Amino acid sequence: MKLISLFLCATIIFTPAYSLAQEPDYRITSVEENQPAPFKGILLTQDSLAKIESDLRTKVKVCENDCKLKLNELKLLHNRDILLIESEAHGLSQIIKTKDSRIAELEKIVEDSNNSWTVPLVAVASFVLGVTITVGITYAVNR
């Protein structure tokens, strides 16, 4: 096993890397009819080259338009969410105002009822009634 590992390491280290040594060939030349090609490769007409360039430009424009469309969709969703939140906040503030006015009305009712003469009268009458009943029961029991 060690021998196989040593062999593999040696071949990786000492094998030349051809892919790193070769540079791409970007030669462009024009060829006339019945003229041999000066190098091996793909031969394109001007029309096919223009078509390739046009297709690439079209793809770039389509990608740009897709990005703009997605951006506008996200902006619309964002604006919709903001409007929903604002409307909910407005509705909740209206509910709070309604509850506050109801609380103010109830506090006024309580203040008005506390200032009336009936509360002390009922308290004194209850005390007098309680004392009278207690004295009556005590008198009845002791007799």
What does 92-142 look like in DSSP terms, one character per residue?
HHHHHHHHHHHHHHHHHHHHHHHTSSHHHHHHHHHHHHHHHHHHHHHHHHH
The better pLDDT of the pair 46, 51 is held by 51
Inform me whether the pLDDT recorded for 3 exceeds 80.
Answer: no
For residue 31, give the DSSP letter: -
Distance CA 21, CA 36 (A): 29
pLDDT of residue 133: 95
Total number of domains constituting the chain? 1
pLDDT of 58: 96
Asked whether residue 128 is assigned to any structural domain, the reply reads no
Assigned domain for 139 exists = no
Whether residue 122 lies inside any domain: the answer is no
pLDDT band at 30 (very low <50, low <70, confident <90, very high): confident
Structural domain contains residue 123: no
**36, part of any domain:** yes
Determine, yes or no, domain membership for 132: no
Residue with tokens 């190098």: 39
Residue linked to tokens 């338009």: 65
Predicted confidence at residue 16, as pLDDT, reads 58
Tokens describing residue 4:
């196989």
pLDDT exceeds cutoff 80 at 136: yes
Mean pLDDT of 74-101: 97
Q: Is residue 106 over pLDDT 60?
A: yes
Residue 138 maps to a domain: no
CA distance 77 to 81: 6
What band does 122 get if pLDDT is binned at 50, 70 and 90?
confident
Of the pLDDT bands very low, low, confident and very high (cuts 50, 70, 90), residue 22 is low
Residue 64 lies in a domain: yes
C-alpha distances in angstroms, 23 versus 19, 30, 45?
A: 8, 22, 25
Mean pLDDT across the chain: 85
> Average pLDDT, stretch 1-12?
69
Length of the chain: 143
Boundaries of domain holding 82? 2-116
